[in-house]
Chains A and B, each alone.
Chain A
Amino acid sequence: MITVSQVSKRYHDRSVLSEINLTLPSAATHVFLGSSGCGKTTLLRIIAGTLAADCGTVMVDGIRVVVADPCPLATRLGYMTQEGGLFPHLTAEQNVTLVANVRGIPASERKQRLDELSTLVGLDQGLLSRYPMQLSGGQRQRVALIRALFQKPQFLLLDEPMGALDPIMRRDVQAMLKQVFAQLRCTVILVTHDIGEAAYFGDTITLLHDGMVLQHGSFSDLVHRPLHPHVTAFLQAQRPVPQLGELGP
């Protein structure tokens, strides 16, 4: 379980997060939803322990997160960003096994894990020798997911992982992720600005606006029991797909 209490963060004189309080139960998918600049990525970094909050605490399974180098939660965290955040100078396989190599995990174990995860995310193993530039967006996301899952993390932090994908690929990757989350039963925090995505993944959704939590609850809570006029405004802001008939000949 992740508990965020009274967390605030300022950059210069701009408040990015103010007095955030959240409880995120284990083995569920939590979505941080909001438009860009609302503070959702900052909150994710504070939870990961790579950024210090000005005040307030984050507890992960009862242990307080402190910012340190290397990242203290690293062995328990999987992380994935927009476009995957793969290192361009390493092949897909080197990207995936980088940390296992540094930690001295035996080759046979690495190979076995690679096989398992390639099957899990549906990646052709022949692609592993390629550099990120030689892969499509969807393939890169699959490689990034393998990397995030390689150390069998308890927590998976995903920062707009599908932001740069075209609609068809995004659909594929979304379906794959949903399936993987269901299979692994780990705690996932997913940051997005896409309402459909939030609804698709989120066991809970936290809607952030200007550094504050407007509402925390299920998608249906947000739709049917909005706590703030902004909640409804945000949910209705995305243009619905018009019916084909409405477009005319």
Chain B
Amino acid sequence: MNSLRHLVSLLSLLVFWMGTARSSAALTDRAEIRVASKPFTESYILSEMVAQIIDDTGEARAVRKFGLGGPTLVVDGLRSGELDIDVNYTGALTHLLLPTKQNPSIEDLHAELRAHGLLLSQSLGFNNTYAIAVRSETARALTLHNISDLRGHQQLRGAFTPDFLNYQDGFYKLQQVYGVTLTQVKPMQHSLAYQALASREIDLTDAYTTDGSLPQFDLTLLTDDRGFFPKYYGVILIRDAVAKRFPKTWTALRKLEGTLSDSRMTQINAKVDVHKQAITEVARQFLREQKFITASERGTPIPGSVLEESLWTSTYEHLMLVLSALLLSCLIGIPLGILAVQYRRTGQLLIALTSLLQTIPSLALLCFLIPILGIGARPTIFALFLYGLLPVSQSTTTGLLSLDSRLIETARILGLTKWQRLRLIELPLASRYILAGIKTTAVINVATATIAALIGAGGYGRYITSGLAMNDGRLILKGAIPTAAMAVLFHFLFEYLARWLIPKGLQTERPREP
């Protein structure tokens, strides 16, 4: 038990130390505007532009919550006040907020948003809607120009983003409208689909009309000859209260309206996607050209975007997530494992419940948690904690059940109470198992914590999410390598801890002959 007490106090010390480090950093706060972005290039760039304009106007400081997963998450964040501003798309918002309305107008959308305390700018100019992309050679070979030309080519293999497959105005409606039927369709992430298209694994996918990486893959976009796709005009979405509180900022932001045509947006996206320029730089360059920001070359430095966040910050965030969740898993999981031994039925039921938790996909679990815990570190820690319950409680139970019943009987006859037996005999004897469970949890936490980036908790996941979104292998590795290294470090740390924490009498492998 001593050993476990050591472990718990060590962990809580670490977490406490990290907690204080964080709060002292937050002391320098002034008014903040939290800018959201979703994990794809265009969203990063537009939100970075918004953030730079906010900083340049000077009424408030921009806090970048970039790379948040899924459209629901950002809009929910805005509605609940966790986020302040975002660049979104009319089509996506209509789909999300007015899903049942027939032919909704832009006025309907404005009205609906006002009801949620949100405000919409005019269109920024471009319409980034869906398109169907095929390899140019396929287009030539089968003389495909329009989507309707696909009729009769049901042998073509399609891969579409999950969003496109699920939206009402997505793939299945498209098939109805155009009378096209494809026999082989599967869901695939965007950047992977382009690669798959290039390597002839698939023949067509959904693309975005302003996608900067289209030119490098030699793709042909089929014309939407029946006007099927809704308009996806880029718009700034802001909380009404924030717009009122920072009027100069809102005015400055609205200068972006109508300045980004389709071709302009595609060009800007290509600078990042194809030419690998830094998002911060690309955004700043555009804003300077347009004279939307005044900061001179040598003026106040514009803080780097989230993607250029230092590795140390990410390491700190990642470690914080892993350790806090681990501590919680131990605090709840070990007693749960003990209970499961004392009260078999109830305990087994509880452990079965924790196994059930394991089957919930991490992103889905986060989505359930957001309405309760908001976005950022809290829901992530809670999700990791839930995932850690099973290995910790299960290993505690296994460890306690594996004990020699004669030893427990002896302890009982010697006169130790239930609690004394647990503390002095059973837990120390089971410590090897328990520690193994904690180690497993720690290593799994390191890997799973990469999803944190999707709900704005940072960590190494930010590089992986953005790298995947922008098809940037180097960025993915910048997240993946430290994650792997941290997992390995945790493994060795626990090997070392085991030597220190597991009672010596249990470690002597070979009995010494007297």
Interface residues of A (CB under 8 A from B): 45, 48, 50, 69-71, 74-75, 77, 79, 81-82, 85, 87-91, 98-99, 102, 127, 130-136, 139, 147, 151, 157
Contacts and interface: CB of A to CB of B under 8 A. Distances in A.
B416 A88 contact: no
Contacts, number: 83
A17 B503 CA distance: 40
B424 A81 contact: no
A75 B415 contact: yes
Given A87-B429, A88-B505, A139-B514, A69 B418 contact: yes
A213 B435 CA distance: 48
B514 to A, nearest CB: 5
Secondary structure class of chain A's binding surface, majority of residues: mixed
B248 interface: no
A98 B417 CA distance: 13
Given A133-B511, A134-B512, A70 B407 contact: no
Interface string B489-514: 00000000000000111101001111
B417 A69 contact: yes
22 contacts: A45-B409, A50-B412, A50-B413, A69-B417, A69-B418, A71-B413, A77-B413, A79-B413, A79-B414, A87-B429, A88-B506, A89-B429, A89-B505, A90-B505, A91-B505, A98-B416, A102-B416, A102-B420, A133-B512, A134-B508, A136-B513, A157-B413
Given A45-B409, A75-B415, A134 B429 contact: no
Interface in B416-472: 416-418, 420, 424-425, 428-429
A242 B497 CA distance: 57
A243 to B, nearest CB: 34
A50 B412 CA distance: 7
Contacts of A82: 406
Contacts of B415: 70-71, 74-75, 77, 99, 151
Point out which of B415, B424, B511 has the most chain A C-beta atoms below 10 A from its C-beta.
Answer: B415
Contacts of B505: 87-91, 131-133
B416 A79 contact: no
A89 B511 CA distance: 14
A75 B416 CA distance: 10
Contacts of A70: 412, 415-418, 420
What are the nearest 3 A-B pairs in CB distance? A74-B415, A89-B503, A131-B505
Contact of B428 (A85, A89, A127): A89
Contacts of B412: 50, 69-71
Contact of B514 (A90, A127, A151): A127
Contact of B424 (A69, A98, A151): A98
**Residue among B412, B506, B512 with the most chain A CB within 10 A?**
B412
Contact of B413 (A74, A98, A130): A74
Contacts of B176: none
Contacts of A45: 409
B514 A74 contact: no
A151 B413 CA distance: 12
A204 B428 CA distance: 40
B410 A79 contact: yes
Nearest to A83: B406
Interface string B82-113: 00000000000000000000000000000000
Nearest to A157: B413
Contacts of B429: 87-89
Contacts of A151: 415
A209 B420 CA distance: 37
Interface string B247-267: 000000000000000000000
A92 B429 CA distance: 16
Contacts of A77: 413, 415
Contact of B425 (A79, A87, A133, A139): A87
A70 B513 CA distance: 36
